[in-house]
Amino acid sequence: MSQKIIITGASGGLGAPICTALAAAGHHVVGTMRSTGGKNEAVAQALGEQGVHLVELDVTDDASVERGVEEAISYLGGLDVVFNNAGIGSYGLQELFTPEDMQRVFEVNVLGVQRVMRAVLPTLRAQGRGTVLYTSSLIGRIASPFYGTYSASKWALEAMAENYRTELSGFGIETCIVEPGAMPTAFLDGMLVPSDPDREAAYGDLARAVEPALAGLQQALEATPDQRPERVVEAVVQLLAMPYGEKPFRTVVDAMGIGSLIERYNAELADVTRDVHSMFGTEAMLSMNTPS
* Residue 153 to residues 7, 107, 124, Cα–Cα distance (Å): 19, 9, 25
Q: Catalytic residue at 169?
A: no
Active site residue 153: no
DSSP codes of every residue in 1-46: ---EEEES-TTSTTHHHHHHHHHHTT-EEEEEES-SSGGGHHHHHH
Q: Which of 154, 164, 169, 247 is catalytic?
A: 154
Q: How far apart are CA 121 and CA 198, in angstroms?
A: 44
User: DSSP states of 192-246 as a string?
Assistant: B--S-GGGGGGGTHHHHTHHHHHHHHHHHHHT-TT--HHHHHHHHHHHHHSPTT-
Out of 4, 91, 134, 136, the active site residue is 136
Selecting among 11, 90, 137, 151, the annotated active-site residue is 11
Coil, strand, or helix at residue 259? helix
Whether 150 is catalytic is yes
- Rounded distance between C-alpha atoms, residue 48 and residue 190, angstroms: 24
Residue 144 appears among annotated catalytic residues: no
Catalytic residues: 11, 136, 150, 154
